[in-house]
Copies of this chain bind each other. A is one copy, B any other.
Amino acid sequence: MPIYNAPTKDMGFVLHEVLKIHEADIPGYEELDAETTAAILEEAGKLSENVLAPLNPVGDKQGCTLENGVVRTPEGFKNAYEQMRAGGWMGLDADPEYGGQGMPYVLNIAVGEMFVSSNMAFNMYQGLTHGAYAAIHAHGSDEQKETYLPNMVDGIWSGTMNLTEPHCGTDLGLIRTKAEPQDDGSYSITGSKIWISAGEHDLSENIVHLVLAKVPGGPEGVKGISLFIVPKFLVNEDGSLGQRNGVSCGGLEEKMGIHGNATCVMNYDGAKGFLIGELHKGMRAMFTMMNEARLGVGLQGYAQGAVAYQNALAFAQDRLQGRDVTGAKNPDGPADPIIVHPDVRRNLLHQKSFVEGARAFAFWGAQMIDRARRNEDAAAEGMISLLTPVIKGFLTDKGFETTVLAQQTLGGSGFTQEWGLEQFVRDARITMIYEGTNGIQSLDLVGRKLGADGGKHVMAFFDMVKSFIAENKGADETLDAQFFEPLKTASKDLQAAGMYFMQNGMKAPNNALSGSYDFMHLFGHVCLGLMWSRMAIAAKAALDGGTSDEAFYKAKLATGRYYMARQLPETATLLKRIESGADPVMELDAASF
């Protein structure tokens, strides 16, 4: 069975030595001293290691079952869910007015990484609830909030998001689900939704579905979509559960991974729904929390890589095969542990340097969300909106790649179910697809975010990197050569790509759109290069300050050096691809493929 060790120490390093959250002028952060966060992370870590991780292969093997409309989750899920509730984890960053703990989002993300690493399928149940909570919190009426939020924050009720229909996923303008106005002010919802994660299950007493539907007579396309609350059980005036609503699970999807989460076909058959937010403004309401939702999926991507890496490392330190070419390292044994071999180390460092860079990137993103929200800081809002598709697309592509590399470290054992690596690969795969495929992320980045507010945010990003380098270079030759120089080169590649889009994308948008995916990756590399540079500075400071834990900080520098020397140079190839423009992509006639 796979292992999991909560990386609380590394999280503390990122939060307090790199991001220095305890010094940030963000309301709520003043509570986040190193001791407090460590205590919270330790608790979440224990739950992850002892309760969630052991259930992960169980959930994969058993999956969910549907019988007579009832969905049963795998053995042990209900018990674990109750422990999550009892610990107050579901409302960690929720509004205290509705029973939440009101903690900053950055802490939610740190805790979330551990929950996801240890059991992604399980954690999706509460993840979806959190998304539905956030939409109701932002757009619901006071009455709706009072009716639904306390129980959702508690976890005794759960939530879902219903967007996709068989004929439309990305192109939601084609939605057919209808919402007919009723005399009592409610709507009668009819239609079929697919791929609804946690659409039906036995973990909560009620399920609050958020459903996109069209009210007849409204505008065409996405401008005629509204958002509705459709509870599985209607709620009586006193808050107790009333009659069963006209919504049911029509089937479970058989899929590659995340078997422990029920992916449902949801049938709405004249179900009673309640408009949330404004009529025809459903898309806006559904996507208000998009930055958080997509950051959460980016987190899932690297979190699977993180646990996969831990298992690859344990295997590499234990498995004896062959000898170190420079001399035996385990002369008394039959062979050396495979971590002595350069190609095994290359593979492990590829994983490790991505995972730790990604963690810093995600936490930094979460900090920006806190700043945007809690300080009402427009610059932070603009920056995180720009970076959100990068976090989602890059961290899930590379996170998946990392699980595959980790699987490779185990050789044949990686292909067997026994060792668990293949589950991480199958589970991680979905993160590149849902919450907007990574292709869609790249379109969002290049087609929308780059030019937003006159390109102000991307210019701010470039300025930030430039100032960062200017402020830090010159103090240490090694850091200059190993970190800041490569970062500068990569950042120049990114600027050159942006310039190419400016000069060629205006007259022919396909010149930009053909390079959008590469641009997303280029951007991701620069962000991780920046994070590694920041981590290197923090590690250097600790070493200079006479830390008692030299090994940790030296490992940080060595791991960062690997990223800068061997991952970051990919930016050159990405730029070259982008600069080849639309012709190689658009030339071939669709019928001649």
A residues with CB within 8 A of B: 164, 167-171, 174, 195, 253-257, 313, 317, 320-322, 325-326, 329, 334-335, 337, 339-349, 352, 400, 404, 407-408, 411-412, 414-418, 422, 425-426, 429-430, 432-434, 437-439, 442-443, 509-510, 513-514, 516-517, 551-552, 554-555, 558-559, 561-562, 565-566, 569-570, 572-573, 576-577, 580, 582-593
A contact face: mostly helix, strand, loop, or mixed: helix
Question: Is the pair B412, A433 in contact by a Cβ cutoff of 8 Å?
Answer: yes
Q: Taking the nearest CB of chain B, how far is it from the CB of A186, in angstroms?
A: 29
Cα of A416 to Cα of B352 in the assembled complex, Å:
30
Question: Is the pair A322, B429 in contact by a Cβ cutoff of 8 Å?
Answer: no
Residues of B within 8 A of A590 (CB): 317, 329, 337, 339-340
Question: Is the pair A514, B582 in contact by a Cβ cutoff of 8 Å?
Answer: no
Question: Is the pair B346, A585 in contact by a Cβ cutoff of 8 Å?
Answer: yes
Of listed A415, A569, A583, residue having the most chain B CB within 10 A:
A415
27 examples of A-B residue contacts, CB within 8 angstroms? A164-B412, A169-B411, A169-B412, A170-B322, A195-B412, A254-B418, A255-B417, A317-B590, A325-B513, A326-B509, A342-B516, A342-B586, A346-B517, A349-B584, A400-B404, A408-B438, A415-B429, A415-B433, A426-B426, A551-B591, A552-B592, A554-B592, A565-B583, A565-B584, A566-B577, A569-B573, A572-B573
Cα of A34 to Cα of B336 in the assembled complex, Å:
54
Residues of B within 8 A of A551 (CB): 589, 591-592
Residues of B within 8 A of A347 (CB): 439, 517
Residues of B within 8 A of A516 (CB): 342-343
Q: Taking the nearest CB of chain B, how far is it from the CB of A483, in angstroms?
A: 12
- Which of these, B430, B558, B586, contacts A588 with CB under 8 Å? B558
Whether A588 contacts B342 in the complex (CB less than 8 A), given A253-B416, A425-B429, comes out as no
Cα of A313 to Cα of B593 in the assembled complex, Å:
8
Question: Is the pair B555, A580 in contact by a Cβ cutoff of 8 Å?
Answer: no
Whether A352 contacts B593 in the complex (CB less than 8 A), given A342-B582, A573-B569, A573-B570, comes out as yes
Residues of B within 8 A of A254 (CB): 416-418
Whether A325 contacts B573 in the complex (CB less than 8 A), given A347-B439, A514-B346, A555-B593, comes out as no
Residues of B within 8 A of A349 (CB): 584-585, 588
Residues of B within 8 A of A344 (CB): 439
Whether A433 contacts B416 in the complex (CB less than 8 A), given A565-B584, A588-B349, comes out as no
Q: Taking the nearest CB of chain B, how far is it from the CB of A487, in angstroms?
A: 15
Question: Is the pair B408, A437 in contact by a Cβ cutoff of 8 Å?
Answer: yes
Question: Is the pair B345, A585 in contact by a Cβ cutoff of 8 Å?
Answer: yes
Q: Taking the nearest CB of chain B, how far is it from the CB of A293, in angstroms?
A: 16
Cα of A416 to Cα of B342 in the assembled complex, Å:
38
Residues of B within 8 A of A592 (CB): 551-552, 554-555, 558
A-B pairs with lowest CB-CB distance, top 6: A256-B422, A342-B513, A171-B321, A555-B592, A565-B580, A558-B588
Residues of B within 8 A of A442 (CB): 343
Whether A170 contacts B411 in the complex (CB less than 8 A), given A349-B584, A566-B584, A585-B345, comes out as yes
Whether A587 contacts B558 in the complex (CB less than 8 A), given A170-B321, A412-B169, A576-B572, comes out as yes
Residues of B within 8 A of A559 (CB): 588
Residues of B within 8 A of A443 (CB): 343
Please name the residue on chain B nearest to A434 by beta carbon. B412
Residues of B within 8 A of A253 (CB): 416
Cα of A107 to Cα of B500 in the assembled complex, Å:
47
Residues of B within 8 A of A586 (CB): 342, 345
Whether A422 contacts B554 in the complex (CB less than 8 A), given A346-B517, A573-B572, A584-B562, comes out as no
- Which of these, B171, B417, B588, contacts A256 with CB under 8 Å? B417
Of listed A337, A345, A582, residue having the most chain B CB within 10 A:
A345
Cα of A569 to Cα of B579 in the assembled complex, Å:
11
Question: Is the pair A561, B577 in contact by a Cβ cutoff of 8 Å?
Answer: no
Whether A513 contacts B343 in the complex (CB less than 8 A), given A254-B416, A321-B170, comes out as yes
Extra contacts besides A254-B417, A337-B590, A415-B430 (16): CB < 8 Å: A170-B322, A174-B334, A255-B416, A256-B426, A257-B415, A317-B590, A325-B510, A342-B513, A343-B439, A343-B517, A345-B588, A349-B584, A400-B404, A415-B429, A562-B585, A565-B580
